[in-house]
Amino acid sequence: MLASQSRTMILLLGSAAIAWAVTVGRMSGMDAGAGTDLGGLDWYLGVWVTMTVAMMLPSALHAARGLTFVGGYLAPWTAFGLAAYGLFRLVTSFDTDWLAWDRGGPYVAGGAIVAAGIYELTPLKQHCLHRCRKPAARGGLAHGVDCVGCCLGLMAALFALGVMSLFWMAVVAGVIFAEKVLPHGLRLSRGVALALVVLGLWVAGSPSSVPGLREPDRSPSMQMEV
């Protein structure tokens, strides 16, 4: 039994490492900041699933009970990614000149990050985080739903900062792992909430001074990705 669990963990860790390598290879140089276009659906979906494996799988190892678990776990995250893509296409089908980076873009991005910080303190976030940290004998699908509920705000912040940014992807992945795996993850989420609020205000007020934040093209045709 222990040998089987060890093999599963090694396999999943290896999958996560490969996913990180593929993500770095495919996304290198593609960060256009908060206005990064999501591309075609097939390309985006492939990148999204690979990102999910890289970012989420390491923090779900303690709950994984086999490869079938992983398939169920990825299903809610795939649905989340498709919903985000649909929302992006809906928003950008309208006149979005006011979202240009030299107009309302920084305020919308900053507001989304502040909202992500507030979400960290909600009962839903805390409930989902607790379930992710103490997984019962549930299947991958149920654990994936809990994980989406736990990480919803953090992933929204990633979209606002630039979903193709390897820097912010690594930061968000580190925060997710810390909250779900480290001993004081529940208390850590309160500090994350404060950090997100401060970051959101910083992005809204002085985006050019935020380390690691790539400012998008300031032309009116640039669209915000939130």
Phi and psi torsions of 219, nearest 5°: -70, 150
157 close to 165: Cβ distance less than 8 angstroms: no
pTM of the model: 0.88
Alpha-carbon distance of 191 to 120, in angstroms, equals: 9
- Residue 4 confidence (pLDDT): 64
pLDDT in tens, the chain (226 residues): 556 667 778 888 999 999 999 999 988 888 888 877 888 999 999 999 999 999 999 999 888 877 888 999 999 999 999 999 999 999 888 887 888 888 899 999 999 999 999 999 999 999 999 999 987 778 899 999 999 999 999 999 999 999 999 999 999 999 999 999 999 899 999 999 999 999 999 999 999 999 999 888 654 333 434 3
Domain boundaries, the chain: 2-209
Contacts for 181 with CB less than 8 Å, ≥ 6 apart: 59, 62, 133
Token look-up 């303190």 returns 121
| C-alpha span between 118 and 202 (Å, rounded) | 16
- Say what the pLDDT of residue 98 is: 83
Closest CA to 198 of 182, 177, 206, 179: 206
Condensed to tens digits (0 to 9), the pLDDT of residues 40-87 reads 999 999 999 999 999 999 999 888 877 888 999 999 999 999 999 999
Which alpha helices (DSSP H) does the chain contain, by range?
A: 2-27, 41-56, 67-92, 105-119, 123-133, 140-162, 166-181, 185-205
Distances (CA, A) of 160 to 23, 136, 196: 19, 33, 12
pLDDT of the residue at 190: 94
Q: What is the pLDDT of residue 3?
A: 63
pLDDT of residue 78: 97
Cα 157–Cα 160–Cα 162 angle in degrees, nearest 5: 105
Task: Say if residues 112 and 155 touch (Cβ distance below 8 Å).
Answer: no
Handedness of CA 197, 209, 101, 161 (dihedral sign): negative
